[in-house]
Amino acid sequence: MPATAKASILHRVTGVAMFFALVFVIWAWAASLSSPEGFAAVKEVMTSFIAKFIAWGTLTVLSYHIIGGIRHLIMDMGHWEELESGNTSAKAAIGLWLVVAVLAGVWLWF
């Protein structure tokens, strides 16, 4: 699969994933603002591996969607539309995303 196709399918998958991840995000947001006890409960939940993994997954799909989205906006302005530049920018977007995904993991776990 060429890099451009990977970038395209990743944009779709991350978009759909985020739509469902919002269930967790909005739950955590609503509960944490409900009362000091609610905030403490969310903080407690967030220490578990599974919650951290969901949070990491959410940040990771969000970051790809934003990076890919910015690439699309640049393409809207008429850049990176040729085979070579399109493939290069797709590879750069995926590469940058992997770095951000690792940083998000470091932020959450350390």
Partner 1 sequence: MVLNQASLKRDGVQDYVSLRATAIILTLYTLFILGFFLFTPEVTYDNWKALFSNLLVKAFTLLALVCIAVHTKIGLWQVLTDYVKSAALRAVLQFFLYTLAFGYVAVGLFVLWGA
Q: How far is the CB of 60 from partner 1 (least distance, A)?
A: 13
Q: Which is nearer to partner 1, 12 or 84 (CB)?
A: 12
Binding residues for partner 1, total number by CB under 8 A? 21
Asked if 8 touches partner 1 (CB under 8 A), the answer is no
Nearest to 86 by CA among 104, 68, 65: 68
Q: Which is nearer to partner 1, 84 or 96 (CB)?
A: 96
Q: How far is CA 15 from the centre of its chain?
A: 9
Asked if 66 touches partner 1 (CB under 8 A), the answer is yes
Distant-in-sequence, close-in-space partners of 32: CB < 8 Å, separation ≥ 6: 38, 39, 42, 43
Return the ∠ at Cα 107 (arms to 23 and 97), rounded to 5°: 75
Q: Which is nearer to partner 1, 55 or 84 (CB)?
A: 55
Site for partner 1 in 36-55 (CB under 8 A): 36, 39-40
